[in-house]
Amino acid sequence: MPMHSNTWSYSVVIATIQLLIISCVLVGNTKADPQYVGGAACKNCHADEYQQWQGSHHDWAMREASSDTVLGDFDNTRFSHQGITTHFTTVNGEYFAQTQNKHGKQQTFKIAYTFGFEPLQQYLIGFPDGRYQALTVAWDSRPEEQGGQRWYQLMPNDMGQPGESLHWTGVYYNWNTQCAECHSTGLEKNYHSQTNSYSTTWSEVNVSCESCHGPGSDHSVDPSQPLPVEYSAQMQWVIAEGATIANSIGDPHQGAQKEINSCAGCHSRRAKISDDPVNNHSAGDTYLDHYQPQLLRQGLYHADGQIQDEVYVYGSFVQSKMYQRGVRCSNCHEPHSLKLKADGNQVCASCHAPQAYDNPSHHFHNGPDNPGAQCVNCHMPETTYMGIDNRRDHSMRIPRPLLAEKVGAPNACNVCHADQTPSWAGSAIAQWANNIETKISSPSKHHNGVAIAAGREGWQSANQQLIALANDASSNPMARATALTLLNTYPNRDSYQAAQRRLSDPNPLVRIGAIEALEFLAPDQRWNDLSPLLDDKVKAVRLAATARLLGTQQASKKARLQANIAEYIASLQINADRPNSQLQLASAYTSLGRYQQADQAYQQALMLEPLNAVAINNRADSFRAQGLHQRALELLVAGNKTVPDNPLLLHSLGLAQVRSGQPALDSLRQAANLAPDNNRYSYIYAIALNGDGKTKQAIEVLERALDTSPIDRDLLIALVTINRDHGNLGQARLFARRLADAFPQDSAAKRLLNSL
C-alpha cells in the first residue's frame, strides 16, 4: 500500500513536470506583439536615413517648448486682433501666453509644446484634464522679406467666441482629437467620456521612424526580423528611345499601393475606424480597414476634383493618372527628409522627357524663370490654408479653364492671369496650340467634373451623367464613388439599377458609394440588397452597410446583425471625443430603439460642443419620435435662445409649433429667409402659408425658390397642386410640364400632367 502510494505520487510529479515543460515551451513560442523602441534605436544601423530625417517636417511635427524649438517672439510682445490681445513672455526659460480663456477672461498659460515649424509654428497649452489646446494665434516663420517673422491669427474672420467650438479653447482646436495621432508616434488617445478627460500617451512626441515602419522591438533585437511595415524597392522608370513618358521595369502597383496606403493614414481627410496607432496594424489589413476617407464632397473638393478645404494629399493623388500608373510618394519625395528629389522641373523630368515637355511648345511660356514654365504651376496649382500655408493639388490634371468655369472651379491659368477670364484662357490655349489642343480647354460633357457638378446642382442631365460616371471603370474610384453617392438624390429605377450593380464592384470605395446611393430604398428592399455586404472583407464597407441597415432588422435577421452592430458602435466610440461621432452614435442607438443611450450620446455631444445646433435639433426629434412632444418643443424653444438666428432650429421650432397647434409662420419664415438656398425650408414655409389661406404668398415663395433650383421635384409638385386647387389651371399645366420634362422616368409626374 505505501509502495502503491509512492508510485502514484511519483507519477503525478512526473506528469506535472511534463506539463510544466510543455507550458514553458508554449509560452516560449508565444510571440509578443512588437513594441515601440524609439527612433534612437534605429540610427546605428540606419545612420543615413536617421540623419536625413533630422530637421524634417516629421522631426519638427511636435516638440517640447524650449529655446531650441520655439521660433516665435516671446520677448514681451503683444498681438491684438478683433479686440483680443495675446501677450507673449519668457520667464526662467519657460514660455507663456496671456490671452482670452473659455470664459472670456484674460489668463496666463504656459506653452507646453511647439507644433510644426514651417511656414508657421503653433503652440500647445496643457490643461489639468489632460487635454492640449492649440492657440489660434500662430507664428509666421517665413523670412521677413516674405512677410514672415510676425504673429498672426489663423482664422481672422472666424476666430470663435468663448464657449464656441472655433475658439482656441473649443473642441476643434483640441490636439488630442484633432492632431495628435499624426503628429506623434505610437499615440494612444485614452479619452475618458465619463469625465471628459484624457490620459494620452505616446512613444515619441514627434513623427519618428516607427510612425511609418511600425513598432520595431523585434527588428532592433534581430535585424533579420522584418519591421511591421516593410516597403518594397522602387521599380525603375525608364524613358525608352523615341518615347516621351517613362514606363516601369516591372509592375509597380503592389509596392506603390502599400506605400501610399501607409502615408494615407495621416495624409488624407478621413475618419478613423480602428483604435490602432498609425501603421501599427495586423498584416494583410488595408487602409480601408482602419480609415474611411472623405469622397469628393461639396465644400471639401471642387466638382472637378480639385482640392478646396484642407483635404491633404491622398484624395487628390488617387484621382491622378500617376496613381493609376503605379507612381508612389517616394518617386518624387525623399521619404526621410521629405524633400523633393530634384529641383524645379527636374523632378517631373525623371518620367516626362524634357525635350517634349519642358519647353515652350508644351507650356506656351518663354524663359525658364517664367512661372508658367514650371510644371507644378499648371498641373499642381496651390491653395492657401491657415493664412500662409500653400499646398499643391496632387491630382496633376491638365488645365481646362472652360471646364472649370462651367463647374464653378478655379483653374491654374487664371491663378497667374487673374485679370483675365476663363474664356480668355481657354481661347489662348487653343490659339497657342494651333487648335491641336483645343480639347484641353473645352468643357467636355463626359468629364467627371461635369457629371459631379450636374449631380450637385440638379442639372437636367444629372441622373444619366452620374450613372455613366459610376459605370466607367476607366475613371478613378474616388469620382465613381462620389457619383454614386449623388445618385441618392435621384431616386428612380435607373439610379437603383446602376447602384445595385456597383455593390459587387472590385473596388471597395465604389462599393461604399453604391451603399450610400441606395439609402432611398424602402427598409425591406434595402435589407435585400445591402445585407450581403455585411460580410464584406473590408471593414469600411461592412460599416457602411451596417449603418444603413440598423433600422431595418427583423427578429429573424437580428442575430446576423449583432456582430456588425457591435463593430459599428465600437468604430464610432473610437472618436467619442468628437461631437459628430456622438451624433452618429445617437442616431445608431435611436435606430435600435435604445433611446436612453441615444440621449446620453446627445448630451455628450452638447457637453463637447454646447452650441451644436444639430445636436439640439436631433435630440428634440428623438423626443418627438418617443411621443414626448412637449419636451421636444421646450428643448427647441431653449435651443433658439442658446443659438439664436439658426435656421435649422427655427425651422424645427416651427414644425413643433404646428404639431402643438401654436402659431408657426414666424419661425418658418425666419428659417426660410436665413437659409434661402435651403429649398426644404421654403417648401415647408409655403405649405404653411397656403394652409393659412395666404396662397399668393405661398406661390411667390415657391417660385422664388424655384429660380435657384429649377428642377426641384417638391417645389414643382407644390406649384402644380396649389395652382390647380385654386383654379390656376394654366400655371398648373406649365409647372406640370416642367416636372415631366425634368423627370422623364417619373410615372407619377406623367400622371399628374395628364390629369390636367
Beta-strand runs (E) in 5-105? 62-64, 77-81, 84-91, 94-100
Cell for 707? 429660380
Residue 429 confidence (pLDDT)? 87
Q: pLDDT digits over 224-244, tens only?
A: 999 999 999 888 999 999 999
Q: How far apart are CA 135 and CA 58, in angstroms?
A: 20
Banded pLDDT at 442 (limits 50, 70, 90): low
- Residue pair 320/399 in contact by the 8 Å Cβ criterion: no
Banded pLDDT at 440 (limits 50, 70, 90): low
Residue 19 confidence (pLDDT)? 37
At position 421, the amino acid (one-letter code) is T
Residue 608 confidence (pLDDT)? 95
Residue among 514, 240, 450, 459 nearest 353 (CA): 240
Residue 108 belongs to what H/E stretch?
strand 106-115
Banded pLDDT at 102 (limits 50, 70, 90): very high
Banded pLDDT at 32 (limits 50, 70, 90): confident
Q: pLDDT digits over 619-650, tens only?
A: 999 999 999 999 999 999 999 999 999 999 99
Whether residue 450 is predicted with pLDDT greater than 50 in this model: the reply is yes
Strand-pairing partners, residue 198, are: 191
- Residue pair 205/112 in contact by the 8 Å Cβ criterion: no
Residue 552 confidence (pLDDT)? 80
- Which of the residue ranges 43-52, 602-611, 731-740 would you say has the lowest mean pLDDT? 731-740
**Superfamily for domain range 676-756:** Tetratricopeptide repeat domain (1.25.40.10)
Cα-based angle 652, 657, 663 (whole degrees, multiple of 5): 125
Whether residue 15 is predicted with pLDDT greater than 80 in this model: the reply is no
- Residue pair 371/416 in contact by the 8 Å Cβ criterion: yes
Banded pLDDT at 30 (limits 50, 70, 90): low
Whether residue 186 is predicted with pLDDT greater than 90 in this model: the reply is yes
Q: pLDDT digits over 667-694, tens only?
A: 999 999 999 999 999 999 999 999 999 9
Residue ranges per domain, the chain?
A: 60-207, 217-397, 400-439, 676-756
Residue among 557, 561, 549 nearest 522 (CA): 549
% helix, strand, coil for the chain, step of 5: 50, 10, 40
Q: How far apart are CA 240 and CA 314, in angstroms?
A: 30
Q: How far apart are CA 536 and CA 525, in angstroms?
A: 19
Residue among 315, 216, 303, 239 nearest 270 (CA): 315
**Mean pLDDT throughout 6-35?**
47
Q: pLDDT digits over 103-128, tens only?
A: 999 999 999 999 999 999 999 999 99
Could you count the other beta carbons within 10 Å of the beta carbon of residue 47?
A: 10
- Residue pair 187/194 in contact by the 8 Å Cβ criterion: no
Q: pLDDT digits over 58-87, tens only?
A: 999 999 999 999 999 999 999 999 999 999
Residue 745 confidence (pLDDT)? 75
Banded pLDDT at 304 (limits 50, 70, 90): very high
Q: pLDDT digits over 518-529, tens only?
A: 999 998 899 999
Residue 322 confidence (pLDDT)? 95
Helices (H), ranges, 91-202? 175-178, 180-183
**Mean pLDDT throughout 364-378?**
91
**Mean pLDDT throughout 325-342?**
96
Residue 443 confidence (pLDDT)? 58
Cis-peptide into 506, omega within 30 deg:
no
Q: pLDDT digits over 386-396, tens only?
A: 999 999 999 99
Q: pLDDT digits over 261-297, tens only?
A: 999 999 999 999 999 999 999 888 899 999 999 999 9
Contacts of 137 (CB under 8 A, 6+ apart): 79, 81, 86, 97, 99, 151, 152, 153, 154, 168
Cα dihedral 703, 707, 710, 712 sign: negative
**Mean pLDDT throughout 487-516?**
96
Residue 14 confidence (pLDDT)? 37
- Residue pair 127/62 in contact by the 8 Å Cβ criterion: no
SS3 600: helix
**Mean pLDDT throughout 408-422?**
94
Residue 33 confidence (pLDDT)? 87
Banded pLDDT at 435 (limits 50, 70, 90): very low
What is the full DSSP assignment across 613-627? HHHHHHHHHHHHHTT
Q: How far apart are CA 290 and CA 277, in angstroms?
A: 10
- Tell me the pTM: 0.90
Whether residue 752 is predicted with pLDDT greater than 90 in this model: the reply is no
Banded pLDDT at 431 (limits 50, 70, 90): confident
Residue 31 confidence (pLDDT)? 65
Residue at grid coordinates 482629437: 177
Residue among 211, 253, 257, 212 nearest 230 (CA): 212
Cell for 537? 472583407
Mean per-residue pLDDT over the chain, rounded: 91
Q: How far apart are CA 549 and CA 542, in angstroms?
A: 11
- Residue pair 575/581 in contact by the 8 Å Cβ criterion: yes
Q: How far apart are CA 615 and CA 583, in angstroms?
A: 7
- Which of the residue ranges 164-173, 493-502, 733-742 would you say has the lowest mean pLDDT? 733-742
Whether residue 741 is predicted with pLDDT greater than 90 in this model: the reply is no
Q: How far apart are CA 517 and CA 170, in angstroms?
A: 34
| Cα-based distances in Å from 746 to 53, 468, 732, 755 | 61, 19, 17, 15
SS3 279: coil
Cell for 126? 496643457
Cβ neighbourhood burial of 2 (10 Å; 0-12, 13-18, 19+): exposed
Residue 107 belongs to what H/E stretch?
strand 106-115
Whether residue 312 is predicted with pLDDT greater than 90 in this model: the reply is yes
Q: How far apart are CA 754 and CA 741, in angstroms?
A: 13
Cα-based angle 200, 205, 208 (whole degrees, multiple of 5): 125
Residue 368 confidence (pLDDT)? 79
Banded pLDDT at 553 (limits 50, 70, 90): low
Banded pLDDT at 556 (limits 50, 70, 90): low
Q: State the SS3 of 373-418.
A: HCHHHHHCCEEEECCCEEEECCCCCCCCHHHHHHHCCCCHHHHHCC
